């Protein structure tokens, strides 16, 4: 990307109504207006262009980004660290096991204690249905209260790095990958995207990926098909939302129970395992009751249920049924690859191998998407800020 290209993107950004993102969190894509979504993509691309041209986009001379991860996640950790580093923020991990963050009062107190100098708080909490997003909102209202009462001089921005409902940094990266692959958002109307369940030998993969995908991709006039075996329903609210958004955007949303039907004529396929929503609700209940034996039994039950659908796998044969036999294959990674990482998995090795480079490119957008979310929340006039950065031409590497 050359300077002219970056300048053009900054001009596009300036025409969007994104100022509403200032001092707001990024928790669910469907809470964001179309212009806000577009602005996020645009800023991500501008940041990518600046870096390619060795222009530093260091917005912060100092500042902290708190990471609060309720599970281990190398990829998310690196994406968040990369985004923060790009902007000049230092990541400080909040280790939950030692941090005593719990319920009620304590969330408020700990949220305040970590926020005195925090510009951003990135949270990943996707383990229990009904919990992750709720927890994020508790933290958000805690820091808002701290700000309103003058305890915090600034209100740190929350970024949802995956919750039980949505995975916005993933779905936005996925979407940016689609936009760039198809040469622009204007080329997406009428394209068919198949978000389909696929068999995995492991249990309980999060629902936030398929939910994030149907909750975002239905806004661009595409024909979105959600496919899964009976019993693998996602959250009904998100499905309802997808249906509504598809209608509004001039696209469509359909649910089918056949992978073949979903793949037929698809421009994009996203085959990926997930756990049934209802089972995940039962799991949260068992967890609340401290019934670890019950959780163990549920896991066994779900593994058996999974194994009845080993034919849900992305094969070369299925790929040939897609549009021109050349649909864009997507995955959030890591994938369960048949014969590579497991005996039977979500995808056949030749399909995965053929799409390795686009898959890695898809993953590569995430740091920029996260950085864009942060930048738009911290700078009311992001276009001006970015124009000044471009003009300044300060090198990232001397």
Residues 41-60 that bind its own copies (CB under 8 A): 51-52, 56, 58-60
Distance CA 384, CA 47 (A): 14
| 393 forms part of the interface with its own copies (CB under 8 A) | no
Q: Which stretch binds its own copies (CB under 8 A): 36-44, 211-219, 320-328, 387-395?
A: 387-395
- Please say whether the beta carbons of 29 and 84 come within 8 A: no
User: Should residue 74 be labelled a site residue for its own copies when binding is judged by CB under 8 A?
Assistant: yes
Is 4 near its own copies (CB under 8 A)? no
d(CA 222, CA 394): 40
Q: Which of residues 75-94 bind its own copies (CB under 8 A)?
A: 75, 77-79, 81-82, 85-88, 90-92, 94
Within 294-333, the residues that bind its own copies by CB under 8 A are: 333
User: According to CB under 8 A, which one of 70, 191, 309, 378 is a site residue for its own copies?
Assistant: 378
Applying CB under 8 A, which part among 31-39, 95-103, 193-201, 249-257 lies near its own copies?
95-103
Which window, 9-17, 220-228, 322-330, 355-363, contacts its own copies (CB under 8 A)? Answer: 355-363
- Applying CB under 8 A, does 396 fall inside the site for its own copies? yes
d(CA 223, CA 70): 35
Least distance (Å) between residue 349 CB and its own copies: 9
19 binds its own copies (CB under 8 A): no
- Omega cis (within 30) before 343: no
Cα 333 to Cα 366: distance, rounded to the nearest angstrom: 12
Tokens read off for 121: 């708080």
Site for its own copies in 122-151 (CB under 8 A): 146, 149-151
Instruction: Single out the residue of 199, 224, 228 nearest to residue 214, CA to CA.
Output: 224
- Contacts with its own copies by CB under 8 A: the residue count is 71
Phi and psi at residue 254, in whole multiples of 5°? -140, 150
253-292 positions binding its own copies, by CB under 8 A: none
Burial of 7 (0-12, 13-18, 19+ CB in 10 A): middle
* Cβ 125 vs Cβ 131: under 8 Å: yes
Beta carbons within 10 angstroms of residue 291's beta carbon: 14
| 250 is a site residue for its own copies (CB under 8 A) | no
């Amino acid at each position: 990307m050359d300077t002219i290209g970056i300048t053009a993107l900054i001009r596009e950004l300036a025409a969007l109504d994104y100022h509403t993102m200032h001092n707001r969190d990024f928790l669910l894509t469907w809470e964001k207006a179309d212009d806000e979504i577009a602005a996020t993509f645009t800023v991500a691309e501008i940041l990518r262009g600046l870096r390619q041209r060795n222009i530093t986009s260091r917005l912060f001379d100092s500042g902290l980004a708190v990471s609060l991860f309720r599970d281990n996640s190398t990829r998310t950790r690196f994406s968040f660290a990369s985004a923060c580093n790009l902007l000049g923020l230092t990541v400080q991990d909040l280790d939950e096991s030692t941090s005593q963050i719990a319920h009620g009062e304590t969330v408020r107190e700990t949220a305040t204690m970590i926020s005195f100098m925090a510009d951003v708080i990135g949270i990943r909490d996707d383990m229990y249905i009904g919990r992750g997003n709720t927890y994020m909102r508790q933290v958000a209202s805690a820091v808002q209260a701290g700000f309103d009462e003058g305890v915090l001089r600034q209100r740190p921005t929350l970024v949802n790095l995956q919750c039980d409902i949505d995975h916005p940094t993933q779905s936005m990266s996925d979407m940016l990958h689609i936009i760039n692959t198809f040469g622009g958002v204007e080329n997406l109307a009428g394209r068919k995207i198949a978000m389909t369940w696929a068999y995995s030998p492991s249990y309980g993969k999060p629902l936030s990926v398929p939910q994030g995908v149907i909750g975002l991709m239905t806004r661009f006039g595409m024909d979105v098909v959600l496919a899964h075996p009976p019993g693998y329903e996602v959250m009904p609210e998100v499905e309802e939302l997808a249906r509504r958004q598809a209608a509004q955007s001039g696209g469509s949303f359909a649910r089918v129970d056949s992978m073949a039907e979903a793949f037929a004529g698809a421009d994009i396929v996203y085959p990926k395992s997930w756990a049934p929503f209802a089972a995940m609700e039962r799991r949260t209940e068992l967890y609340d009751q401290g019934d670890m034996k019950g959780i163990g039994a549920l896991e066994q039950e779900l593994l058996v249920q999974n194994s009845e659908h080993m034919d849900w796998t992305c094969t070369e044969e299925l790929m040939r049924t897609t549009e021109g036999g050349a649909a864009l294959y997507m995955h959030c990674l890591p994938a369960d690859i048949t014969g590579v990482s497991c005996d039977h998995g979500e995808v056949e090795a030749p399909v995965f191998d053929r799409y390795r480079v686009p898959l890695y490119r898809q993953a590569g957008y995430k740091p920029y998407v996260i950085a864009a979310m942060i930048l738009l929340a911290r700078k009311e006039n992001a276009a001006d800020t970015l124009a000044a950065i471009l003009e300044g031409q300060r090198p990232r590497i001397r």
